[in-house]
A = this chain, B = another copy of it.
């Protein structure tokens, strides 16, 4: 009587988790400071002081019955109003509270969005390289994830393959920019071309194609990268946001989903999200956390360390002969491995206490991901180790590092 579909999932191991567990075990052995753990995408800077102050103020100055009371099933209206206002100001949108649904991070937002705009059997397309948790979000909804192969030249969109795969079965596309794992930011040109294609295909296929935009790294954008708000280019966009990375509060499970007001079904989709939540017994994120993020809606943690680390690593990797697209945001970089089998490449790196994640998990074999959310000092110390690894294992002797 045990539900087979969930029991069977227990067998499948997450490569990232296995690597991270290995790194922890190795850390206990030789000291964690000696393990260069580039496996996990965990923010490495504290939440901003203003966030802490906001929580303390709510606890000491406000009625506990309000602060800890039930949230309305679609989220606290005053919180949603502040979020709408901030998005409108920054991105020239015209959201109101009725276009926003509060979620358990971007994860909850994507899982809800997929359930709203698909029926079982529908296809959702994502672009390699992609965050592997898209599989459970989509597969357990009854829809089917299909992966458009990567554009390995620049990790933008492989439009030829996309157009082939955009059949009548496709209900939605899932994009993620700035991207995990590549760190790449989609250009305005890419996003405009995508919007144009979706409009044309909507006409040709006779049904609306939704764009689900996964944006947990929206605020981690480096100099020179243009902040294009996906929804501003395509009306049938559901934006999925998380405060996990921008405020460094991943354990608080707080984010939202925002449906473009120009989408005819916008308010219906938000209301449907409330019904989906009822079914899983979720009923909104913590009221305290909703009220707290509304107080710091324009703040972020000090995210500058990620750009410093990107600069160091990009310089080191290219000097060592790696082929690598320069990240425009996030805290990831996604170089090409020095042998065809990236799993083997990453295994060889483990002997040097370098924990790298093979691109296979992200639908892009032959590459590997480094999550550089750590102190800059550690990144600096890892570079000679990386060089030793490359020189000894692959005989490369580029200078400059």
Contact = CB atoms under 8 A, between A and B. Distances in A.
A269 B119 contact: no
A116 interface: yes
B104 A141 contact: no
Interface string A37-62: 00000111011000010011001100
Interface stretch (A3-11, A27-35, A319-327, A343-351): A3-11
A229 interface: no
A117 interface: yes
Interface stretch (A144-152, A181-189, A273-281, A308-316): A273-281
Contact of A119 (B4, B71, B271): B4
Given A119-B1, A288-B252, A141 B272 contact: no
A117 B282 contact: no
Given A140-B279, A252-B286, A275-B6, A210 B119 contact: no
Contact of A280 (B106, B140, B271): B140
Contacts of A105: 281, 283
Given A55-B59, A283-B104, A278 B3 contact: no
A201 interface: no
A6 B116 contact: yes
Given A251-B68, A251-B69, A272-B10, A285 B286 contact: yes
A249 interface: yes
Nearest to A41: B70
A70 B250 contact: yes
A136 interface: yes
Given A69-B251, A251-B284, 9 more contacts: A3-B116, A4-B119, A6-B116, A68-B251, A70-B250, A71-B251, A107-B281, A253-B285, A285-B286
A245 B116 CA distance: 31
The number of times this chain is found in the oligomer is 2
A198 B9 CA distance: 29
Interface residues of A, number: 78
A106 B43 CA distance: 30
21 contacts: A1-B117, A1-B122, A2-B272, A6-B276, A46-B64, A46-B65, A52-B59, A56-B56, A56-B60, A64-B248, A69-B250, A70-B251, A103-B281, A104-B281, A111-B282, A137-B278, A140-B278, A140-B279, A253-B282, A253-B283, A286-B288
A287 interface: yes
Interface in A354-374: none
A115 B282 CA distance: 14
Contact of A281 (B47, B122, B137): B137
A265 interface: yes
A60 B253 CA distance: 20
Given A70-B251, A288-B252, A3 B103 contact: no
A249 B280 contact: no
Interface in A109-158: 109-112, 115-119, 122, 133, 136-137, 139-141
